[in-house]
């Protein structure tokens, strides 16, 4: 009996690992998250309130590399009033991990900015956290650090 119990436990562990590996590597979800990141990138260059609201959750926590943390309203307002103004945004080295209805994205962000009319550059390493609501992936949190 002990032998059968050991075999059953090993099969249970193996089955759980197999299911977990499928959950972590769902290509459809990874592709959908990549598309959500791209929509956000475009919306940050050409901001529109309705679009930005549709791409983020109400509870958004948006952390800048200077330590400033904004909620959804402040994040959107800064883009609309051009205190945070992206002229270009290039993303590289992007890696996406999906676990159930949560995804995180890490990438490098290089941007030309014109915050409050002052030209500048941003060179950042960024972590984005997305949550799946219904069939849409929405940004829940972001944190950036200077490279």
18-46: per-residue pLDDT in tens?
Answer: 454 445 557 899 999 999 999 999 999 99
Question: Quick one: DSSP state of residue 25?
Answer: T
Lowest mean pLDDT among 4-8, 31-35, 109-113: 4-8
- Pairing of β 102-115 and β 69-70: unpaired
Decide: residue 7, CB within 10 A, 0-12 exposed, 13-18 middle, 19+ buried. exposed
Secondary structure (3-state) at 131: strand
State pTM to two decimals: 0.82
Provide the pLDDT for residue 81.
97
47-95: per-residue pLDDT in tens?
Answer: 999 999 999 999 999 999 999 999 999 999 999 999 999 999 999 999 9
Nearest to 144 by CA among 45, 67, 37, 74: 67
Nearest to 98 by CA among 135, 129, 61: 129
Could you tell me the domains of the chain? 27-146 (3.10.450.50)
């Amino acid at each position: 009996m002990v032998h059968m119990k050991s075999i059953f436990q090993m099969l249970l562990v193996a089955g759980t690992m197999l299911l977990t590996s499928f959950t972590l590597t769902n290509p459809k979800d990874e592709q959908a998250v990549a598309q959500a990141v791209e929509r956000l990138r475009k919306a940050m260059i050409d901001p529109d309130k309705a679009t930005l609201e549709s791409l983020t959750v109400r509870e958004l926590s948006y952390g800048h590399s200077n330590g400033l943390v904004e909620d959804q309203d402040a994040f959107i307002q800064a883009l609309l009033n051009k205190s945070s103004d992206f002229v270009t945004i290039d993303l590289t080295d992007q890696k996406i991990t999906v676990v159930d209805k949560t995804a995180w994205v890490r990438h490098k962000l290089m941007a030309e900015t014109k915050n409050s009319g002052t030209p500048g550059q941003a060179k950042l390493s960024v972590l984005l956290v997305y949550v799946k609501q219904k069939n849409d992936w929405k940004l829940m949190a972001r944190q950036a650090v200077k490279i």
